Structure 1
Amino acid sequence: MKKLFLGLGLVAGTFAFAQTSPTFGLKAGLNVSSISDDGYEDSKSKAGFYGGVFMNAPISEMFSIQPEVLYSQYGAKVTSTVEGSGLGTTYTSKSSNSINLDYVTVPVMFQFHATPAFYLEAGPEFGFLVGAKAKGDTTTTTTTGGTTTTTTNSGSTDIKDYTTKFNMGAGLGIGFNFTPNLGINARYVAGFTDINKQSDGEDGTTSVDNDNNKNRNNTFQVGLSYKF
């Protein structure tokens, strides 16, 4: 909760610095997200959606602060293999999954307006997990006494209990306003925090240590914004 209040405090604090009345708007677009591949054989990017609201508060002729509240789909397509043996049996389990991580994110962007239409931006992003699922196929090959069997299972697994609830990153982007109301924006958000739970939580749930691997969200965003 302290992290949530910190994010909200930064948003509220923008009013104190605003020199003119802030403007409000909507924005939406495409996420091309990935997860750092520590512990995975292969990790590929996946497409998702983001959308939400923002407030732009000018603090001078060339600078402004833009806090946002967005629903944002992160994740990646990953492949991993687990091998083992015991009591005369060996097995290999290979999984190919699409990891879907849904967040409510609160970016706070500090913008430099090089021209009235063109700007650069940078700032922190705070994310709060609302859903996490792994969807795909797992193929297991088992060999016992010279006999080999192969089974394949498909489905969706809720992994929210194994994923950290808070995510933090930093965004760097550019934007261009076609009109005073309509604009386009591109942003890269690099994650700082590990998305894996590394130990048992206070709520008593069992977490996944992922062999002490650390995986972080990374996302490229592009979309449109509309100011009222």
Structure 2
Amino acid sequence: MRLVFFSVALVALVAAPASAQTTFLLKGGLNTAFFSGDDALIFDPRLGASGGAGLRFDVSPSLGVQVEALYSQEGAKQDNGSGTYELDYIDVPVLLRAGLPLTRYADAGLYAGPQIGIPVRAEFAPDRGPNEDEQTRTDIGIALGADYWSGPVGVDLRYVIGLQDAFDDEIDGVPVDPLFVRNQAFTVSLGYRFGGKATGGRGGRGRY
């Protein structure tokens, strides 16, 4: 899975020519994170924050490649109220975006692509569970979403589907009893963009 992710990322970045229009992105929002998988029925969603920065390379008004680095609070709460698995990641999605110019200053888009999540924090709150940090795996997923931008300000709706279990079944070669769950998350973000130009229909190009 990691090899597939890095292969897609490399192809996407190489495919963006030097003449592509570059836009810088700042984003912040709210996650509704939850688990799927064999043990997911004993969990409820966890609310958390998501935020970071990104770059978008628009090779045309209707096609772009977007790369981001986001701090994302994920995990889930046990439905009996005993605690929460707080799993925080640095998520790095590589997205292919299909854009739709609307006016001189506004545009919308649909995007999809692979995502890798690097674990930076793993705790079972209120009490720390044994070996939670060691058991947490690098997360591999798919990000799907849509955005709308008016001038420099935008809103982004995203769903991330985890493709592998969040926890390892062994530590240093010693088998453990893991939870068989995968990370999932809905994210709503507000964004600010700069450095590029809006590409609208009848009005032509306008600066953010």
TM range (shorter): 0.7 to 0.9
Matched-pair contact (CA < 8 Å) for 2:134–2:171: no
Provide closer, same or farther for how the CA distance between residues 48 and 8 of structure 1 changes in structure 2, counting only shifts above 3 A: farther
Provide closer, same or farther for how the CA distance between residues 217 and 53 of structure 1 changes in structure 2, counting only shifts above 3 A: same
Matches within 5 A, 1:49-88: 49-79=49-79
How far off is 1:109 after superposition? 1.2
Equivalent residue for 2:136, pick from 143, 163, 181? 163
- The SS at the match of 2:170 is coil
- State the 4+ residue runs in structure 1 displaced beyond 3 angstroms: 2-9
Equivalent residue for 2:177, pick from 209, 212, 218? 209
The runs of 5 or more residues in structure 1 that have no matched partner are: 81-94, 137-154
Determine if the alignment matches structure 1 residue 185 to structure 2 residue 169.
no
How far off is 1:39 after superposition? 2.8
2:43 maps to which residue?
43
- The SS at the match of 1:96 is coil
1:220 maps to which residue?
186
In 1, Cα distance between the equivalents of 2:41 and 2:112? 32
Matches within 5 A, 1:111-150: 111-116=97-102, 117-136=107-126
In 2, Cα distance between the equivalents of 1:127 and 1:98? 19
Between structure 1 and structure 2, the one with the greater Rg is 1
The runs of 5 or more residues in structure 2 that have no matched partner are: 195-208
Count of aligned pairs between the two proteins: 188
Output one character per residue of 1:149-186: Cα deviation in whole Å (capped at 9) or x when no partner. xxxxxx3336111222x10110111110021x111000
- The SS at the match of 1:197 is coil
Matched-pair contact (CA < 8 Å) for 1:196–1:208: no
In 2, Cα distance between the equivalents of 1:4 and 1:42? 33
- The SS at the match of 1:194 is coil
In 2, Cα distance between the equivalents of 1:52 and 1:122? 18
How far off is 1:97 after superposition? 1.6
1:17 maps to which residue?
16
Matched-pair contact (CA < 8 Å) for 2:61–2:101: no
In 1, Cα distance between the equivalents of 2:11 and 2:53? 15
Provide closer, same or farther for how the CA distance between residues 41 and 69 of structure 1 changes in structure 2, counting only shifts above 3 A: closer
How far off is 1:8 after superposition? 9.2
Give the number of the structure with larger relative contact order, counting CA–CA contacts within 8 Å between residues 6 or more apart. Answer: 2
- The SS at the match of 2:82 is strand
- Alpha-carbon RMSD across the aligned residues, in angstroms, is 2.6
Moved more, 23-32 or 111-120: 111-120
How far off is 1:64 after superposition? 0.5
